[in-house]
Structure 1
Amino acid sequence: MAEFLTDIRTIRDRARREIDKGPVTDAYGADLNRVILVLNEALATEIVCTLRYKRHYYTATGLYSEPVAAEFLQHAQEEEQHADKLAQRIVQLGGEPDFNPDTLTRRAHAEYDDSADLIEMIKENLVAERVAIAAYTEIAQWIGAGDPTTRRIFEELLAQEEEHADDMRGLLERIPRDQPGV
């Protein structure tokens, strides 16, 4: 086991001297401002994904729409939980979560979609999940050991986005494309 680099008295003194920084200590090894910016981009992504899934939930029609719409609603709720986790972390790091609707789609990694066709809805949701997976993988790797808490949040989100992508792929595989009412 490695030795402590700093004696406990120095750690205590710094903790008292920099109390206004909350959980961000000298041990924080990431670029704080950039991490907050990246968290806000991910927040925008999750909000856009929530809105896309909600729209698809309400507008899905056709023979197979009921179970697909139920999946869309579940994913919308989980994306909203992701947004809440990201906003909480931004505040914890001393930043401000950006919920500005005027800039959401420009800041988001994934795109909003208003497809009317059930198969197209599923495909667009799968594309968005794949975008989030790629982005969150890169973010987790970029953060590395500099901010383990934020990295773990992205790893948790990544695992759920992978489940969402698998769900969408499964829906595409189960719905026959040559049936009326699809």
Structure 2
Amino acid sequence: MSDSLALDVDRISKEALRTMAAGPATSGSGLDTERVVSVLNDVVATEVVAWLRYTRHAITARRIDRPEVSERFDLRAEQAMRHAEDTAGRIAALGGHANFDPEMLAQRAHTDYSVADDPAIRAMVEQNLQASGIVVDAYREIARWLGDRDPDSRRLVESVLADERDNARALTELLRLV
């Protein structure tokens, strides 16, 4: 895998921390919805990028006749899109607008879309496992940051986080089999 992922993740992490470091998710008058919407839009971008990556990997796995791996990637792609849609719904409930601008998705996502040069199943699983680990850490921090100031958004992020943890476990098991 390329080192560019680590560099992109560093940049994205610093930007997310900068957004959240401006203070708690509330002001004296209540929830700072603009900052929460910005952070949730990063989650939308991360999940859309995951959908793209998993979809690409599922197609590649089908091409090399690995239906059990393709099926796992397809399921994860569907789950990622549901997460993006649910998060976009929360953004709308906060009075914001979900940002699905293709030019912005890669910039806002916590993970990189880049796919392994090696089309081997093991490389694809490793790449997705690495991305899943990054997402687990990022979403854990977002849930902590939201705290009790926005319990609905926190519960949504915690739900996605639980799915990501399950996905990481499944990818770890899949890695043992390939």
Q: TM-score range by the shorter chain?
A: 0.7 to 0.9
Indicate how the Cα distance of structure 1 residues 129 and 29 shifts in structure 2: closer, same or farther if over 3 A, else same. farther
Structure having the higher Rg? 1
Gaps of 5+ in 1: 1-25, 176-182
2:144 to 141, 146, 151: 141
1:162 to 147, 160, 165: 165
Structure with more of its chain in helix, by fraction = 2
Instruction: Report what 1:7 is aligned to.
Output: none
Say if 2:64 is the partner of 1:92. no
Aligned positions of 1:122-137 closer than 5 A: 122-137=125-140
TM-score, normalised by the number of residues in structure 2: 0.80
Query: Match of 1:125, as an amino acid?
Result: N
Instruction: Report what 1:77 is aligned to.
Output: 78
CA deviation map 1:132-160 (0-9, x unaligned)? 10000000000000000000000000000
The RMSD of aligned alpha carbons is: 1.7
Instruction: Report what 1:179 is aligned to.
Output: none
Q: CA deviation at 1:75?
A: 0.3
Pairs aligned (count): 149
Gaps of 5+ in 2: 1-26
Indicate how the Cα distance of structure 1 residues 173 and 29 shifts in structure 2: closer, same or farther if over 3 A, else same. farther
Indicate how the Cα distance of structure 1 residues 174 and 29 shifts in structure 2: closer, same or farther if over 3 A, else same. farther
CA deviation map 1:97-140 (0-9, x unaligned)? 00000111111001113222211100011011111100000000
TM-score, normalised by the number of residues in structure 1: 0.78
Say if 2:113 is the partner of 1:112. yes
Q: Which runs of 4+ in 1 moved over 2 A?
A: 26-31
Contact 1:29 1:145 in 2 (8 A): no
Query: Match of 1:114, as an amino acid?
Result: V
